[in-house]
Amino acid sequence: MSRTVSGGVPSHPRHRRGGVYLLVLGMGVMLTVIGLAVATTGRVHARNAATDRNCAEASILASSALDLAAARINGDKNWRNNFGCDAWNPPVPMGNGSLIWKQTDEIDNDVENDPDEPVRLSGEATVAAAARRFSMEARPGGTLPLPVLACTMHGGGGISVMYPVVSSGGAISCNGSLGNSSTITSNVEAGSVVNTGTIAGFVTTPSPAKSVPTVSLFWEYRSQATDISFAGISGGTIDARLLSAAVNPWGPENAAGIYFIRVPAGQSLRIRDSVIQATLVVELGANAEIEVDGLVAWSPPATRMPSLLAMGPSTATADIEPESGTVNVSAIQANLLGMGINVGVIAAAPSELRGLFHIVGGARTTFEDSPRLIGTWICDGSILVISGSLQMVADPDLVANPPNGYTLMDPTITVVPGSFRWDER
C-alpha cells in the first residue's frame, strides 16, 4: 500500500531519484569520452593529413631541386669547377620548406678531371619533419662547332676593305676594327666599324670576340704530316702539279693527305696552276710568304680536315690572288674530286678555294684579283683586301662537320633516360 501526502500526490522512493542522477551522469561521461575520442581521432587525422601534405610537397621540392641543379649547371660554363664534388650547395627556401642539391662523379669521385664524364645530380628537400631525396644521371652535351666556322672571313685583328667584297651565307667578322672604303655585300660582325663606303647588310658592333684554336693545334697537325722539302720544290713554286693523299711529286704519300713545308725567312712558297687536294701545314719564317695565284683548285683531303694551316710572325704574309677559270693538270694514279683518273689523262677542276684556311699567329692575309672562296678564311692577324673583287660563300658542311680541333665543349647537360631514382637520406 502506497502512501499519500497532503494534496493527494503520491510520493516515490528516494532511490529512484538517485538512479536517474547516475544515468544522467553516466551518459555525460559517455558523451565526454566520445567527444574526446572524436577530437583525438580528428587531431590524428589532421596530423596525418599534414604529414602527407608535407611529404608530397617535399617530393615536389626534391624534384625541383634537380631542375634547379640542371638550370644552374647549364647557366655556368665552369660548372665542374664552381659547384664542387659531393658538396651540398646552400639551401634555397621554397614553398613551406627548402631544397639543396649537389653533383657527384660516380666513376672516380672527381667532377673536374674529365669534361666527358657524366655526373649524378642529387636534390633534397625538407618540409617540417618530412624529407625526400632524389637523384638522376646527367651527361655533357658533347662538342659544338666554333662560331667562327659560320663566317666566310674572320680576322683576329682588323680587316681593311679597299675593293668590293661579296659574302653570302655567312658574315664577315673580326675581333678588332673593320675599315671599309669600298663596297661590302655581307653582314658584318666586328668590334668596331669605320665605314666610308657602303655596307649592304646588317652590321653588329660591338660584336663579341670569336675564339679560334691555339697554336698547339698547328703542331698537332704538323706531327701527322709528311715533310716536303722546300729546297726540293723547284724555284719554291708548286706549278702545274697535283698534290693529294695518293700523289706526292716530292716524296712519299701521306695516307691522310697532310703535308708539311717550312718556308725559310725571306723566301716565298708559290702555288699556281695546280690542284691541291690535301691539308698543307706551312711554317713561314720572318718575311716569308705563301702566294696563291694563277688557276688553283684547292680542297681538303677529307671531311673534318682543313685545307691550309700556315703559321708565321707579323712580318710573314699569305698573298691570295688566284684567277677564275679551269685548272688542267696531268693526273697520274689519282682520284680527283671523287672521279677516277687514269694515267696520262688531263684532270680539270674549277679554280676556287674550298674548305677551311687558317693563318695562325701574327702573319697577315692580303686578297688580290678576284679569288673565289667556298668555306671560311681565318687569319689571327690582320686581313687586307687591296685589289680585285673577292667572292666568298659559306659552306654549311664546316658547321655540320667541323674540322678536327675547331670545336668546343658543349657545357650543357642532358638527363640520362631511366637514371632517376629515390635515394635514402
The grid coordinates listed for 357 are: 684556311
For cell 628537400, the residue is: 125
pLDDT at 353: 96
The dihedral built from the CA positions of residue 46, 51, 57 and 60, taken in this order, carries a sign that is negative
Kindly list the distances between the CA atom of residue 213 and the CA atoms of 217, 293, 364, 379, in Å, as whole numbers in the listed order.
6, 27, 17, 11
Query: Please, which pLDDT band fits residue 124 given cuts at 50, 70 and 90?
Result: very high
Cα–Cα nearest to 297, from 243, 342, 343: 243
pLDDT at position 408 over 70: yes
pLDDT at position 338 over 80: no
Assess if CATH 3.30.1300.30 describes domain 15-142+410-425.
yes
Q: What are the tens digits of pLDDT across the range 170-210?
A: 999 999 999 999 999 999 999 999 999 999 999 999 999 99
**Could you tell me if 369 and 387 are in contact, meaning their C-beta atoms sit under 8 angstroms apart?**
yes
pLDDT at 111: 87
Cα–Cα nearest to 130, from 92, 98, 90, 170: 98
Single pTM value for the model: 0.72
The grid coordinates listed for 202 are: 646588317
| Segments making up each domain of the chain, as ranges | 15-142+410-425, 146-409
pLDDT at 44: 52
pLDDT at 317: 96
Angle at 399 (CA atoms; ends 395, 405), nearest 5 degrees: 115
- The torsion region of residue 221 among left (phi > 0), alpha (psi -120 to 50) and beta comes to alpha
Q: What are the tens digits of pLDDT across the range 212-256?
A: 999 999 999 999 999 999 999 999 999 999 999 999 999 999 999
pLDDT cut 70: percent of the chain above it: 84
**Could you tell me if 375 and 354 are in contact, meaning their C-beta atoms sit under 8 angstroms apart?**
yes
Mean pLDDT of 327-347: 55
**Could you tell me if 121 and 155 are in contact, meaning their C-beta atoms sit under 8 angstroms apart?**
no
DSSP 205: S
Mean pLDDT computed over every residue of the chain: 87
3-state secondary structure of 45: helix
Parallel, antiparallel, or unpaired: how do β-strands 308-312 and 279-284 relate?
A: parallel
pLDDT at position 302 over 90: yes
Beta-bridged to residue 424, according to DSSP, are none
Residue type, 147: P
pLDDT higher for 80 or 270? 270
pLDDT at position 78 over 90: no
pLDDT at position 348 over 80: no
Q: What are the tens digits of pLDDT across the range 35-72?
A: 665 556 556 555 656 778 888 888 999 999 999 999 99
